[in-house]
Structure 1
Amino acid sequence: MTEWDNWIGREQVQRDTLDNALANRWFATFNLDASPIGMMPQGIHLCLCTPEAPQTALGKDGHPKRDESDQSFFPPIPLPRRMWAASEIEFLEPIPIGADIERTSRIASIAEKEGKSGKLGFVDVEHVTKANGVIAVRDKQTLVYRDAVAGDAPLSPPEPSSAAFDAASWDQHQQITPDPRLLFRFSALTFNTHRIHYDLPYARDVERYRGLVVHGPLMASLLLQMAVKVLGENKLKTFNFRAVSPAIADEPLHMAIRKSGDGYELGTFASDGRQCVKASATA
């Protein structure tokens, strides 16, 4: 039980259109050719029904403010640092370009925990995305809220060590270097104004990151595109990912996939092998 349990069950409905302009911007961001069959690749739902808070309703970090009002979808947990911790995604139908989109979001659970870094607040949100009236994606998203950090706290993550990522045990491997332009474009696609992704002084001096932080959903999108190379487009039934450690812009990022039992294991890694995202998928 928490003092915010009355938020459990609160719903929000948003509508959008996956028009050609959005589709083209998505393909351009990831250096992909447009779909010849008019269907978008899996992961496009992350860029639909984006936040609609007006500028005056944003907090210092860039996220929409949270308060006790009926208009505040998220509970006002008094922990200032918000992160997208994980998602459990079920793909049911491909989303065509031109589709009318409706997303219903519901607060599923709220929990408080004590971690090594202090108090933590967890909020699970269930999203159901429909395209032209048909359920296309179910996504259970976990957000975590954390305490502020001291102004003299060590920067996170540590500088890369002399170790190197070993790709030998993976079926496929790809290396990219996500730069601030990619982060800016993905922030624009998702209408994400969290300053850790584009405001270096804020990321470094306030939230104590060593540089601009690569979005977790951006890394998830890149892993989904790696799955396309192995399985083909729109073949996954499920995709789960969890943020493990921050990835920093302008530093090499390794993406890898391998068969694992009845499904697939995926991950993103820093140059020294430190894991940033863990993921699994079934087809």
Structure 2
Amino acid sequence: MSEWAAWLGREEVREDRIGTAAVTRWCATLDRPTAADGTVPQGYHWCLGLPDAATADLGEDGHPRRDPTSSSFLPPVPLPRRMWASSKVEFLHPLRIGETVKRRSRVKAITPKQGGSGPLVFLEVEHETTSEDRVAVREVQSIVYRAAAPEGAPAAPPPGPELKGLDGWSATRTLTPSEPLLFRFSALTFNSHRIHYDLPYATAEEGYRGLVVHGPLIATLLLDLAQRAFGEQPLSRFSFRAMSPAICGDALHLALREGEAGLELMALASDGRQVMAATATRRS
């Protein structure tokens, strides 16, 4: 832990503006219309205040290089594989087209661990997005760093039998993430991680069976499912945790229901494997 102590509490502030064209493209990516009142869909904050490393400063995986000379405020964790593991989000006020926003990010915690596949480092980052001098979105993001896949490791096995149904869930949707969907989401979020567009890299270098669907894209689709069920700006809180990878071209099953402590949401792969678990609270 001492080797990362200097990064604890480090902050980065970025400003952005919510443009009509960008929001229209976000909604087009999700096959939904823009809101008539000018508010942007919940989850759109993942397009704002993004890191903008130069192409020459990207590492082998497409992420900004992680070394002490990098311009990133994140610690230079040497483990090569990086995954967005989970987030806890508070939606405090709707964001609107035309607003100028500020995103303040802070390194909250750095925790090394030993997993079954080798060393891990968990990084927690707090993000606060403000607009019109008030906090609109507050988030704690958890990122996990892992060792490289063993040389010659086989790609993940093919999926099992097709999932038959989602009994007991009040709202469901099934879609098949395609290459154009992954490409558009990568472009909107300025995400150049090669597992989302470079098939030889995803399979040979990282051991996946195909292109990997972005974790925040799956979370966005769950937020969109809530919007389809309850209308615009439906949630005050939303937490998700990635469970296993979703693969481009495989059916993805989304589901939502009311639970004792609020909303339960999940995403399942075509073989019934849980891809993402989420909980949410409806806006009162």
- CA shift, 1:159, in A, is 1.4
What amino acid does structure 1 have at the position aligned with 2:173? Q
- 1: CA distance, partners of 2:36 / 2:6: 47
Normalising by structure 1, we get a TM-score of 0.97
Name the residue aligned to 2:77: 77
Name the residue aligned to 1:139: 139
Q: Is the 8 A contact 1:51 1:192 kept in 2?
A: no
- CA shift, 1:142, in A, is 0.3
- 1: CA distance, partners of 2:120 / 2:221: 28
- 2: CA distance, partners of 1:53 / 1:99: 24
Aligned-pair identity (%): 51
Name the residue aligned to 2:182: 183
Which stretches in structure 1 are left out of the alignment for 5+ residues? none
Structure 1 ranges of 4+ moved more than 4 A: none
What amino acid does structure 1 have at the position aligned with 2:251? P
Name the residue aligned to 2:221: 222
Name the residue aligned to 1:122: 122
Q: Does 1:160 align with 2:135?
A: no
- CA shift, 1:151, in A, is 3.0
- 1: CA distance, partners of 2:244 / 2:164: 15
Name the residue aligned to 2:233: 234
Please state whether the residue corresponding to 2:235 is helix, strand or coil.
coil
CA displacement, residues 59-95 of structure 1 (integer Å, 9 cap, x when unaligned) = 1111111222483311111100000000000000000
Q: How does 1:262-277 map to 2 (within 5 A)?
A: 262-277=261-276
Please state whether the residue corresponding to 1:4 is helix, strand or coil.
helix
Name the residue aligned to 2:253: 254
- 2: CA distance, partners of 1:205 / 1:66: 22
Q: Does 1:198 align with 2:200?
A: no
Please state whether the residue corresponding to 1:96 is helix, strand or coil.
coil
What amino acid does structure 2 have at the position aligned with 1:77? V
Q: Is the 8 A contact 2:66 2:78 kept in 1?
A: no
Q: Is the 8 A contact 1:151 1:208 kept in 2?
A: no
- CA shift, 1:231, in A, is 2.1
CA displacement, residues 73-128 of structure 1 (integer Å, 9 cap, x when unaligned) = 11111100000000000000000011101000000000000111110011000000
Normalising by structure 2, we get a TM-score of 0.96
Which stretches in structure 2 are left out of the alignment for 5+ residues? none
**Is 262-271 or 212-221 further displaced after alignment?**
262-271
Name the residue aligned to 1:210: 209
Q: How does 1:81-120 map to 2 (within 5 A)?
A: 81-120=81-120
Name the residue aligned to 1:30: 30
CA displacement, residues 146-183 of structure 1 (integer Å, 9 cap, x when unaligned) = 00012321313x31112525300211111000000000
Q: Is the 8 A contact 1:107 1:125 kept in 2?
A: yes
- 2: CA distance, partners of 1:121 / 1:135: 29
Q: Is the 8 A contact 1:246 1:276 kept in 2?
A: yes
- CA shift, 1:131, in A, is 1.8
Q: Is the 8 A contact 2:91 2:136 kept in 1?
A: yes
Please state whether the residue corresponding to 2:3 is helix, strand or coil.
coil
CA displacement, residues 169-219 of structure 1 (integer Å, 9 cap, x when unaligned) = 211111000000000000000000000000101101111110000000000
Q: Is the 8 A contact 1:155 1:204 kept in 2?
A: yes
What amino acid does structure 2 have at the position aligned with 1:29? T
- 1: CA distance, partners of 2:269 / 2:201: 22
**Is 28-37 or 99-108 further displaced after alignment?**
28-37
- CA shift, 1:133, in A, is 2.4
- 2: CA distance, partners of 1:70 / 1:184: 26
